[in-house]
A and B are shown apart, each in its own frame.
Chain A
Amino acid sequence: MRAPRQVAQPCAALVLAATVLLSGCGGAGGGDGDPLRFVLFGDPTETAGYEELVAAFERENRDVEVTISPVAEQDDLMAKLTTAFAGGRPPDVFLINYRNYGQFASQGVLAPVQPRLDSSAVIDEGDFAAAALDAFRFDGSELTCLPQNVSSLVVYYNADLFAEAGLAPPRAGWTWDDFLTAAQTLTVDGRYGVGTEASTIRVAPFVWSAGGDVVDDPDEPTTLSLDTGEARRGLDFFLDLQTVHGVAPPERQEQAQDSEARFLAGQLGMYLNSRKSVPTLRTIDDFSWDVAPMPVAPGGEPATILHGDAYCIAGASEQQNQAWRFVEFANSVPGQTILARSGRTVPSRLDVARSRAFLRPDVPPASAEVFVDVIPTIRAVPHSASWPRVEKEADEIIEALYYGRIEREEGIRQLVESTRPLFAGPGS
């Protein structure tokens, strides 16, 4: 009868002591007011850039302390944000992709940055790339959040493989035919010509270049329009790369080694991704690589797609002034220059995007100016509240089509039909 007590008593004491300890540590603290809470997503090297930014901001603003809360993926970010907003304690500032902020903007829980930007003495609307700004005007005119970057989809290519095959390096204005010919020439000996994720945002530039659109009305979309006319031509060209021409890895190959890994191993001629691949590709040392704009449809216009994030301020924040001061600093020349050094994103400020801090002539890609040159051709998918669900559903079907799991006509019919009810969205 004595033994259990001997165990139970220290146990209970431990529990009590620890509970007291726990509620003691943590907590807000901080001298003057609560710290500003800033939530963002990214890997450790990326968040290191933001730590540096926050440190620089705090040096110049001794009265404001910033707590930076990194989460890994956008899905995690959405879980944290939706819970925090619903629970009444959103972060003061957060970084979010333009395809995801709509559900917050539509609820009116964000404090629009437009009035503050208009009266700012530090930054000016004209400093920023229009394509990035437009994606964050939720109602079409007033700026809701301030864009941090203006990354877009580009073609990374293995320059050595191009030279060996006697192919001219791709340049601005190269066509779908050039692209396909290169991909076919490079698909030999277990190597593949081109690798890409199969998703709505990868298909979109092909659709736009062909003269079509992804949705019926970009401002108030009610359905995908990928089954019609020019849009269908773009979608078909994309799907044919894998299903007809076989220049992209089939599903099993892609699962065994994804396109980025394949490119790193020198087994892929061209790789489609946004600016975020650059730090990884810079680890390549056994072949040379470079970057080119997206190819242009015959008789079409050059087009690429925005991969942009912005700083949003929560309407429920009690420190909106401090929050704005941070956002303002982050988007000043010194602020954006700090983040430009990481090389992961294309600065939304055109002056910083054209600076040596971003272009870095000392490291690849040699044609870094491509990221800046394509800015006028950048377009965006809708940023409505219902868009993330549409895109998620569409991605599944596009992937099935790309890997030939469903028949083309049937798949495209499904693509349009099954996403249509989702446009109405949960909020309406």
Chain B
Amino acid sequence: MLRGLLHRHLPAALVAALFSLPLLLMVSGSLRPAGLPPPEGVELLPSEPTLDAYRRLPELVPLWTWLRNSTIVVAVAVPLTVLVASWAGFGIRLLSGRRRRLAILATLAVLLVPVTAVWATRFELFRVVGVIDTYVPLVAPALAATTPFYVLVYVWSFTGLPDSQLEAGRLEGASAWRLWRGVAMPQARLATLAVAVLAFTAHWANFIDALLYLDSQGLYTLPLGLRLLQLLNPTDWPLLMAGAVVATVPAVAVFLLAQRLFLDDPLRGLRGGRT
């Protein structure tokens, strides 16, 4: 029994350990007293751990402003992304045979366009509209599902919907909107989890749009701000590490929370009218 468990989980545990090592070093680096020369090689725990870096960081840079700004951006961009991606995905699912294949191919083709290729034209567009130095350029991609990839995630997920179920709904007179709400979305919880978490990390870590479109320091988001810390003296790297921890914690929290919300299905009780 125990051996079986070990066999099943050991590889996963090893992979997890490998990936969490940098996170661990990030945390331990943030606990190092500032002002010391950086350690030679790898140091798992500093000899005199201190939270000093977390105290100094908000004094040196407007950390809370950056956090707040990033939160505003994801609060808008993530729900919008989920909404648009699932609508588009459901729309493609409702197409029949050849047209569906064409739509999927078109989505794939758009996915292949490198973002850097549209930097200048996008900038020009946002300039003409007069929204440079606002969050509109950062959030606007969410109106196009952030990336066509999220649309495809929903397409793949909705492909599992039996035609019979959709037709039954149609016969009852349900509109596409009601089918999406009542039939498709409840069965695509995993896709929603995946898209929400991916969209969160994408917008939370969006450095390049913040760099290109934001001028006022009061609007700076976390990734843009953290980048400034990278140039600090090597003796001040605990500050950079502390900043990285502050940036990572919300992402980890969102993942854990989303996993709970979507996989343990706490809404089931609500739907049944019970708590």
Q: Contact at B76–A15, with CB atoms within 8 Å?
A: yes
A389 within 8 A of B: no
B80 within 8 A of A: yes
Residues 92 to 140 of chain B near chain A (Cβ within 8 Å): 119-124, 126-127, 131-136, 139
A86 to B224 Cα, complex, angstroms: 21
Within 8 Å CB of B119, what residues of A?
A: 83, 86
B24 within 8 A of A: no
Q: Contact at A15–B80, with CB atoms within 8 Å?
A: yes
Q: Contact at B120–A258, with CB atoms within 8 Å?
A: no
Q: Contact at A84–B212, with CB atoms within 8 Å?
A: yes
A420 to B232 Cα, complex, angstroms: 36
A19 to B136 Cα, complex, angstroms: 8
Q: Contact at A26–B219, with CB atoms within 8 Å?
A: yes
Q: Contact at A265–B37, with CB atoms within 8 Å?
A: yes
Chain B residue nearest to A38 in the complex (CB): B215
B216 within 8 A of A: yes
Of the 9-residue stretches B2-10, B149-157, B180-188, B248-256, which lies at the interface with chain A? B180-188
Chain B residue nearest to A263 in the complex (CB): B37
Q: Contact at A76–B211, with CB atoms within 8 Å?
A: yes
B-side binding surface: helix, strand, loop or mixed? Answer: helix
Chain B residue nearest to A25 in the complex (CB): B134
Q: Count the A-B residue pairs with Cβ separation under 8 angstroms: how many?
A: 142
Q: How far is the CB of B7 from chain A (nearest CB, A)?
A: 37
Given the contacts A2-B271, A89-B132, A264-B234, A44 and B215 also touching, CB distance less than 8 Å? no
Within 8 Å CB of A72, what residues of B?
A: 227-228, 230-231
Interface residue total, chain A, C-beta cutoff 8 A: 55
Within 8 Å CB of B227, what residues of A?
A: 71-73, 76
B198 within 8 A of A: no
Of the 9-residue stretches A62-70, A137-145, A173-181, A330-338, which lies at the interface with chain B? A62-70
A257 to B219 Cα, complex, angstroms: 36
A279 to B212 Cα, complex, angstroms: 29
Residues 69 to 87 of chain A near chain B (Cβ within 8 Å): 69-73, 76, 79-80, 83-84, 86-87
Name A257's contact: one of B40, B79, B135 (CB within 8 Å): B40
A76 to B215 Cα, complex, angstroms: 13
Of the 9-residue stretches A3-11, A125-133, A307-315, which lies at the interface with chain B? A3-11
Chain A residue nearest to B229 in the complex (CB): A44
Q: How far is the CB of B40 from chain A (nearest CB, A)?
A: 5
Q: Contact at A88–B229, with CB atoms within 8 Å?
A: no
Within 8 Å CB of B122, what residues of A?
A: 87
Contact flags B252-275 to A (C-beta < 8 A → 1, else 0): 000000000000000100110000
Within 8 Å CB of A122, what residues of B?
A: none
Within 8 Å CB of B127, what residues of A?
A: 87-89
Q: Contact at A261–B215, with CB atoms within 8 Å?
A: no
Q: How far is the CB of A128 from chain B (nearest CB, A)?
A: 26
Given the contacts A18-B72, A87-B120, A283-B233, A4 and B181 also touching, CB distance less than 8 Å? yes
B91 within 8 A of A: no
Within 8 Å CB of B216, what residues of A?
A: 26, 67, 69
Q: How far is the CB of B112 from chain A (nearest CB, A)?
A: 21
Q: How far is the CB of A3 from chain B (nearest CB, A)?
A: 4
Contact flags A33-47 to B (C-beta < 8 A → 1, else 0): 000010100111111
A76 to B75 Cα, complex, angstroms: 26
A87 to B127 Cα, complex, angstroms: 7
Within 8 Å CB of B60, what residues of A?
A: 44-45
Give the B-binding residues of A (Cβ under 8 A): 1-5, 7-8, 11-12, 14-15, 18-19, 21-23, 25-28, 37, 39, 42-47, 67-73, 76, 79-80, 83-84, 86-89, 91, 256-258, 260-261, 264-265, 279-280, 283
- Extra 13 A-B pairs, beta carbons < 8 Å, given A46-B231, A70-B217, A72-B227: A3-B186, A4-B186, A7-B267, A11-B79, A14-B75, A43-B229, A43-B230, A83-B123, A89-B132, A256-B40, A256-B41, A264-B37, A279-B233
* Pairs A–B under 8 Å by Cβ, sample size 13: A4-B186, A18-B76, A23-B131, A26-B216, A26-B219, A27-B133, A42-B231, A47-B228, A72-B227, A73-B227, A83-B119, A91-B215, A280-B235
Report the 6 A-B pairs with minimum CB-CB distance, sorted nearest first: A87-B123, A43-B231, A26-B134, A86-B120, A280-B233, A264-B37
